Amino acid sequence: MADFLQAVRERVVIYDGAMGTNIQFRNPSVDDFWGKEGCNELLALSRPDIIKDIHTSFFAVGCDVVETNTFGATRVVLAEYDLQDKVAELNIAAAKIAKEVAQQFSSKDKPRFVAGSIGPTTKLPSLGHIRFDDMVAGYFEQASALIEGGVDVLLIETSQDLLQAKAAVVGVFEAMQKAGKRIPVTVQVTLEATGTMLLGTEIGAALTALEPFDVDIIGLNCATGPIEMNDAVRFLGANSSKHVSVLPNAGLPQNEGGRAVYKLKPEELATYHKHFVQDYGVRIVGGCCGTTPEHLQAVVNAVGGIEPAKREVKPTAAASSAYTSVPLDLDPKPLVVAEEMNTTTRVEHFRNLVRGKKYDDILTLAKRLVNDGSHMLDLCCASCARADSGGFYGSGRCRRGIEAHSWQGDHQFDQFGRWREAHVKGASDGEALRRGSDRVDNR
Ligand SMILES: [Zn+2]
């Protein structure tokens, strides 16, 4: 069977364009939605011909990969339509439809692939809309069904909340472990026109948090057109140790009579993709909202045969909060790590705040330490008398890197030994401390 990552190593791999936009063009009726209008995922069961037709339209212009119609097919979203019992059925059906079309177009020289689309849901765990573990369970269920349906890649896309992206990655890896199958994993974050994710996360912080996971591709999609993505694409090209993917919208959406309209021309999308490939070494391109087969036809013509720029990435150890990333090897030195937020030191004050669940005071303390010049916070909420790490959530809202360690074991690492809520890349906790040996303990 053709290997997706092998194709990525050999050439530029081109994804399809929008699913939602192209469903709208085909005008499904209320009956097609079983009266649950807006639930595009249902069409895999009610109107598979529409979904097949969309996949066909993109493969026909030369795309290498199509995405399954499963963007919202998690329990979390389907429950809003009272369809939570259809998770497995919808995902397996959508994967099979896409695989069938892919096989029709595949040849030895040009294998075609199917990416299992995994969207952000309608909830933001960082804002407390849903528990991290519930979100992981939802993604586990969806990814398990997509794997069973035979997808070639798992595509976590349109991530707006870093914690949601991590929940998806954890769920996807748990599903692969259970299935005894390792398939390539992509994580794409969405940057608003302001240049950060919805909750204010910079691209550097997103990379620091996601890179330690065993994912294969880290990229961007949705929210804006390619023009607005340029700086972040350049950053990923220069700093990410993973392959880079870019799937922009057909420009920033314009509001016309209450409808989102996308006006970027096919040639403009193609020109930007050529620039991303030739100048930043991007190997995976495609389109998101508003992009049509005409857009992707232009992209195939522009980048199909060109050689991506060679990327020379020197991995740098770093830590991040939900907003920014701090390199451990600071220039100028030293790296200042505040230790006042560690319950295992002799500082009684923080221990009392944790015991009293005084989260507002913990946040105030964190902000003061950052204002006093700390680059990182050494956060530890371990307590003999407590079995949770609630204090973390209070201080998680401060802007500097958080070096969290030694609180209750299973909150610190997931089963793959990777950071869940705290973000340190390029070094294990102990290593991070040693490499930061030039640090000043700011008690
Ligand atoms: Zn989009």
Calculate how far, in angstroms, residue 223's C-alpha sits from the geometric centre of ligand 1.
Answer: 6
Measured CA to CA, the distance from residue 365 to residue 351 in angstroms comes to 12
Distance 116 CA to ligand 1 centre (A): 16
- Give residue 192 CA to ligand 1 midpoint distance, Å: 11
Residue 347 Cα to ligand 1 midpoint, Å, equals: 48
Collapsing DSSP to helix, strand or coil, 95 comes out as helix
Q: Give distance in angstroms: CA of 291 to centre of ligand 1.
A: 9
Mean pLDDT of the region 225-247 = 98
Cα–Cα distance for residue pair 318/240, rounded to 1 Å: 12
Separation of CA 248 and ligand 1 centre (Å): 7
Q: Which two tokens stand for residue 64?
A: 């290498």
CA 355 to ligand 1 center in whole angstroms:
44
**So what's the pLDDT on residue 381?**
85
Could you give the CA distance from residue 79 to residue 60 in angstroms, rounded to a whole number? 35
Q: How far is the CA of 264 from the centre of ligand 1 (A)?
A: 13
Spatial contact of 337 and 401, defined as CB atoms under 8 Å apart: no
With a cut of 90, say whether residue 38 has pLDDT above it: no
CA of 122 to the centre of ligand 1 (A): 14
List, in order of start, the domains of the chain with CATH numbers. 2-303 (3.20.20.330), 318-434 (no CATH)
Gap from CA of 221 to ligand 1 centroid (Å): 6
- Residue 441 has a pLDDT of 36
Average pLDDT over residues 65-80: 97
Q: Which two tokens stand for residue 22?
A: 């192209």
Q: Write the pLDDT tens digit of every residue in 125-171.
A: 999 999 999 999 999 999 999 999 999 999 999 999 999 999 999 99
The pLDDT of 345-363, averaged and rounded, is 91
DSSP 8-state secondary structure symbol assigned to residue 422: S
Q: 23 Cβ partners below 8 Å, 6+ apart?
A: 40, 43, 50, 54, 69
**Comparison of pLDDT for 10 and 384, the residue scoring more:** 10
Instruction: Output the DSSP codes for 155-202.
Output: EEEEE-SHHHHHHHHHHHHHHHHHHT----EEEEE---TTSS-TTS--
Helices of type H across 266-357: 266-280, 293-303, 348-355
Q: Could you read off the pLDDT of 3-28 as tens digits, one per residue?
A: 999 999 999 999 999 999 999 999 99
User: Mean pLDDT across the stretch 409-433?
Assistant: 37
- Quote the ligand 1 centre to 416 CA distance (angstroms): 31
Tell me the mean pLDDT in the region 332-345.
90
Over residues 297-321, the mean pLDDT reads 94
pLDDT digits (tens, 9 = 90+) for 73-101: 999 999 999 999 999 999 999 999 999 99
CA of 288 to the centre of ligand 1 (A): 4
C-alpha 404 to ligand 1 mean position (Å): 34
Supply the pTM of this predicted model.
0.87
Q: Which residue has the tokens 């016309």?
A: 256
Distance 146 CA to ligand 1 centre (A): 21
Q: How far does residue 229's CA lie from ligand 1's centre (Å)?
A: 13
